[in-house]
Amino acid sequence: MIENKALIERFLRYVKIDTQSADESEAQPSTAKQHDLAKVLYAELRALGLDAVYDEAHCYVYAVLPGEAPALGFIAHMDTSPAASGKNVCPRVEENYQGGNIILKQGSGGKEAIVLSPAQFPGLLRHRGEDLIVTDGTTLLGADDKAGVAEIMSMLAHYAAHPELPHRTVCVAFTPDEEVGRGTEGFDLESFGAKEAYTVDGGTLGEIEYECFNAAAAKVVVSGRSVHPGSAKNAMLNALNVAMEFHAMLPAAERPEHTEGYDGFWHLDSVNGDVEQAVLRYIVRDHDRAHFEARKQTLTDVAAYLNQKYRAFLGGRNAVELTLRDQYFNMAEGMREHMGLVTRAKDALASLGAEPRVVPIRGGTDGAALTARGVPCPNLCTGGYNFHGRFEYASVQEMETCVRLLIALAAV
């Protein structure tokens, strides 16, 4: 049933190495254990005969396989999400899945069994007849993004074993800390070497992503005036009430919980305060640049309206102070001149019998940051599902198709 044994062995080897990154850490990388995988990958790249570089200071691994045509890059991240444990991952291959429940862990001592069920995850039913790699229900799997790492390594192994096959110069990078938004902090474009690349960090087979959000953070500081509540008439301005008034002026339907696809939103992330001062923190997201600018303008307008309303009351002082900070921009703009990368991926997928589908990313990616630095970088599927949780799984056959996709893209 399993055709590409080496691919699966690689994947199982990588997921057993705990590489969870950490949000609260300021170290580089955020957790030292990411080096454990970096060292393994560096050694394996050298064993394949590649020219590899291990940047120990930043925990990046780069390698080049020289070819006959201009360089093409492939990037995958080594860390796993802080959202679920990545320690003692016990992966298992469920061969020839038939569409029923998969028992991840038997119940014992009054504890219920942990079950991966199509009732809860209907997407499983698309994988009937495939071999699925699952967890033991207590950790994540780490297909995000060790599926991408294993697929890139398998593509390299293929070309290293077949020197007679013509291919482009292939540049690869394995990066830390993608899951905590710091994946390109120490990324060295010169060591990498390619002027165009793909991140191999998506999910569903066939999906190609090259559009992400434009993103900004907003901080709203509301100043009130505290007076004893017993004698507050016409004297108190409660900053908490003004903060709620601010929030109520934003369209309720344009919140994350009511949006999808290309819809943008304002998201209230935190509220802190008392009568004297309240602080609201928002994130603002939109794929469309004009809509994104309009969303920021709405915040500015609401602040101006409330300042107008309460200024006289505060003796000419502003009640609301708004600070806006851009975080990242939609990579689609930087991709416009490089759409050949997307077209070639679509054609390659179609030739492998996988229906190509372009979908917008509702977030940012390492590719967005690299595109902004001049290396256009769309994202490719890996065949992994249910990322960041205990029900994560990957399809062996889809992972094989993803390796063929990378081989086709690197071919001359």
Binding mask 328-347 for Zn ion (x = CB under 5 A): --------------------
Query: Applying CB under 5 A, which of residues 18, 79, 131, 145 lies at the interface with Zn ion?
Result: 145
Span 385-404, contacts to Zn ion by CB under 5 A: none
Q: How far apart (Å, rounded) are the C-alpha atoms in residues 124 and 100?
A: 9
Span 274-293, contacts to Zn ion by CB under 5 A: none
Query: Applying CB under 5 A, which of residues 131, 201, 398, 400 lies at the interface with Zn ion?
Result: 201
Task: Give the residue numbers annotated as catalytic, written as ranges.
Answer: 79, 178
The answer to whether the beta carbons of residues 7 and 44 sit under 8 Å apart is: no
| Token reading at 84 | 């679920």
Burial string for 97-123 (b: 16+ CB within 10 Å, else e) reads: beeeebbbbeeeeeeeebbbebeeeee
* Closest approach of Zn ion to the CB of residue 27, in Å: 20
Which is nearer to Zn ion, 152 or 303 (by Cβ)?
152
Binding mask 104-143 for Zn ion (x = CB under 5 A): ----------------------------------------
The answer to whether the beta carbons of residues 88 and 185 sit under 8 Å apart is: no
* Closest approach of Zn ion to the CB of residue 325, in Å: 25
**Candidates 168-176, 194-202, 294-302, 352-360 — which segment interacts with Zn ion by CB under 5 A?**
194-202
**Candidates 9-17, 200-208, 273-281, 324-332 — which segment interacts with Zn ion by CB under 5 A?**
200-208
- For tokens 């399993």, name the residue: 2
Query: Applying CB under 5 A, which of residues 18, 44, 130, 144 lies at the interface with Zn ion?
Result: 144
Nearest Cα neighbor of 289 from 227, 201, 215, 186 is 215
Which is nearer to Zn ion, 34 or 238 (by Cβ)?
34
Amino acid sitting at position 239: A
By rule CB under 5 A, what count of residues binds Zn ion?
Answer: 3
Nearest Cα neighbor of 384 from 127, 179, 177, 175 is 127
Which is nearer to Zn ion, 145 or 196 (by Cβ)?
145
Q: How far apart (Å, rounded) are the C-alpha atoms in residues 386 and 103?
A: 16
| Token reading at 227 | 């007076």
Amino acid sitting at position 327: Q
- For tokens 């990066």, name the residue: 175
**Candidates 132-140, 196-204, 286-294, 365-373 — which segment interacts with Zn ion by CB under 5 A?**
196-204
**Candidates 198-206, 240-248, 270-278, 287-295 — which segment interacts with Zn ion by CB under 5 A?**
198-206
* Closest approach of Zn ion to the CB of residue 303, in Å: 36
Q: How far apart (Å, rounded) are the C-alpha atoms in residues 78 and 85?
A: 15
* Closest approach of Zn ion to the CB of residue 212, in Å: 13
Which is nearer to Zn ion, 140 or 410 (by Cβ)?
140
Which is nearer to Zn ion, 144 or 151 (by Cβ)?
144
HSE-CB at 369 with a 13 A cutoff on CA atoms is: 16
Q: 253 phi and psi, to 5 degrees?
A: -75, -10
* Closest approach of Zn ion to the CB of residue 304, in Å: 40
The full length of the chain comes to: 412
Beta strands in 145-206 (DSSP E): 168-175, 197-200
Which is nearer to Zn ion, 142 or 224 (by Cβ)?
142
* Closest approach of Zn ion to the CB of residue 360, in Å: 16
Nearest Cα neighbor of 163 from 74, 62, 68 is 68
* Closest approach of Zn ion to the CB of residue 23, in Å: 15
Q: With both helix axes pointing from N to C terminus, report the angle between 396-410 and 340-351 in degrees, rounded to the nearest 10.
A: 130
**Candidates 144-152, 242-250, 315-323, 365-373 — which segment interacts with Zn ion by CB under 5 A?**
144-152
Which is nearer to Zn ion, 75 or 342 (by Cβ)?
75
Other CB atoms closer than 10 Å to residue 232's CB: what's the count? 14
Site for Zn ion, rule CB under 5 A:
144-145, 201
